[in-house]
Amino acid sequence: MLLVSENSNFFIENYFGIIKSGVICVPINPALSSFEIKYIIDSLNIKLIFTQNKFSEKIKQLVCEDVEIYSDSSECNLICEPVNSYIEDKDIDIQEDVAVILFTSGSTGNPKGVMLTHYNLIYNTNSIIEYLKLTKRDRVETVLPFYYCYGTSILHTHFRVGGSLVINNKFMFPQTVVEDINKYNCTGFSGVPSTYQILLRMTDIKNTKLPTLRYITQAGGKLPEIFIKQLIDILKGVDIFIMYGQTEATARLSYLPPHLINEKMNSIGRGIKGTDLLVLNNEGTSVKSGEIGEVVAHGGNIMKGYFNDTEETDKVLKQEYLYTGDLAKVDDEGYIYIVSREKNIIKSGGIRISPKEIEDIILQIPQVVECAIIGVEDDILGEAVKAFVVLIENKASIDLKYILDFCKKQLPSYKTPRYIEFLNALPKNSSGKVLTKELK
């Protein structure tokens, strides 16, 4: 069953209700294009859709007459006498039966449906609860959508422990996010890199006391060091969890214990309990300290596969090991440092350049809110470095030359951007991840 909803009570009721009824729940981003939604409906042969009213017209235009659509206002139609088709729990094989399919953008163009079993969800939820030390006293403010694995994990963990969620769907007004932490006495907050970059540079968080806040979590990409340091400086006494994961691993793969955040700056930590997280070289053996390899994971949280896509599944799942496509180094104590995603590495004049290194430099400029680096075609070098820069609104007192000179002082010439373009905002998906494909 398809679930089309923003974060809401409607989502929560229907999400758990669908899974409880023994059916696979497929929550999707309502903002997906009509083409993408139709692709998902057709490829999964969806026959029943739950949607918020606000999206029902869009959905109706995409489906045939034999597909039933229920919205907020049609709930009465759902209540009927118990029927024999209800699946008893004992009929569910938690190791084999899929509970949820989450869609991720695929490199081939079409989204890929990540199949997660009941066991995957339970396994990862337990691990996260343990290291975050979540209890029923915890109350998290969430700005991350529940159809995104990071957001889903927040929903799962807090319901399991009997904690609470404060839903804020107004991140376009970031000051409300800061205010809601105090208004609702939140103990936790979770975000992706852009969440924290915007909060740090576009709100009054630096001057706001957050006495109830116990911890924050960050995943969904690497938060530049300068922002990590600002968080440490501002949020004294608050545990800051730098984490790493993938939808294909249910959500979470690693975390860095908060007390190591200074000592292991920029590390994503080590594998969470029950998950082996390795960095392997081309020969398939663990890398030596400082050597770059691919992050590979094994554990009960690894997906069953991509729905109806054996070819793509076989590319990433090999003998029960998930090959993440992320490149990383490991230090002497086994802590992992992500270098880049393989597909994002810029190959310029035969040299491999990590976009993150250049982004980190440009983000040191206080007037810069966001930055993204890509490789663009170059007749001589193969690829040249291009920077997209977003400045703080109404405070843009710097120009291209300033940024270029700043880079030249800190980067070798081959890493200095050949091109710089200012944007009002970086293109992002609904989870806040930067869409580098659109920049290209």
Footprint of another protein (CB under 8 A): 8-9, 12-14, 16-21, 78-83, 86, 89, 92, 94, 99, 118, 121-122, 125, 136, 139, 156, 159-167, 184
61, burial (CB in 10 Å: exposed 0-12, middle 13-18, buried 19+): exposed
Nearer to another protein, 21 or 289 (CB): 21
To another protein, the closest distance from the beta carbon of 25 in angstroms equals 10
Cα separation, 349 vs 307, in Å, equals 39
CB nearer another protein, residue 274 or residue 325: 274
Least separation in angstroms between residue 32's CB and another protein is: 23
Helices (H), 47-112: 53-60
| CB of 149 or CB of 420, closer to another protein | 149
| 216 contacts 228 by C-beta, under 8 angstroms | no
We find the least distance from the C-beta atom of residue 80 to another protein, in angstroms, to be: 6
Nearer to another protein, 99 or 372 (CB): 99
Nearest approach, Cβ of residue 128 and another protein (Å): 13
Question: Closest separation between CB of residue 296 and another protein, Å?
Answer: 26
Closest distance between another protein and the C-beta of residue 149, in Å? 14
Residue 162 to residue 144: CA distance in whole angstroms: 19
CB of 117 to another protein, least distance (A): 8
Instruction: Measure the CA–CA gap between 123 and 153, rounded to whole angstroms.
Output: 11
On whether the CB atoms of residues 161 and 136 are closer than 8 A, the answer is yes
Q: For the purposes of burial, counting CB atoms within 10 Å of the CB of 238, is it exposed (0-12), middle (13-18) or buried (19 or more)?
A: middle
Give the nearer residue to another protein in terms of CB position, either 170 or 318: 170
In terms of Cβ atoms closer than 10 Å to its own Cβ (0-12, 13-18, 19+), residue 239 is middle
**In the complex, minimum distance from the CB of residue 429 to another protein, in angstroms, rounded to a whole number:** 23
CB of 157 to another protein, least distance (A): 10
Least distance CB 111 / another protein (angstroms): 23
CA angle at 172 for the pair 33 and 338, rounded to the nearest 5°: 75
Whole-angstrom distance, CA of residue 154 vs CA of residue 142? 8
Packing angle of the helix pair 174-183, 193-202 (nearest 10 deg): 90
3-state SS, 201-226, equals HHCCHHHCCCCCCCEEEECCCCCCHH
Which CB sits closer to another protein, 22 or 427? 22
Report the DSSP beta bridge partners of residue 301.
none
For residue 409, the surrounding DSSP H or E stretch is helix 400-410
Rounded CA-CA distance 271/150 in Å is: 16
Nearer to another protein, 64 or 80 (CB): 80
CB nearer another protein, residue 121 or residue 143? 121
Nearer to another protein, 17 or 334 (CB): 17
Q: Nearest 5 degrees, angle CA 12-CA 16-CA 21? A: 145
CB nearer to another protein: give 113 or 375: 113
User: Cα–Cα distances in Å, from 264 out to 234, 235, 268, 335?
Assistant: 19, 18, 9, 8
Q: How far apart are the first and last CA of the chain?
A: 35
Judged by beta carbon, residue 156 or residue 270, the one nearer another protein is: 156
Question: Exposed, middle or buried, 80 (CB in 10 Å: 0-12/13-18/19+)?
Answer: exposed
Q: What is the nearest approach in angstroms of another protein to the Cβ of residue 70? A: 10
Under 8 Å between Cβ of 252 and 153? yes
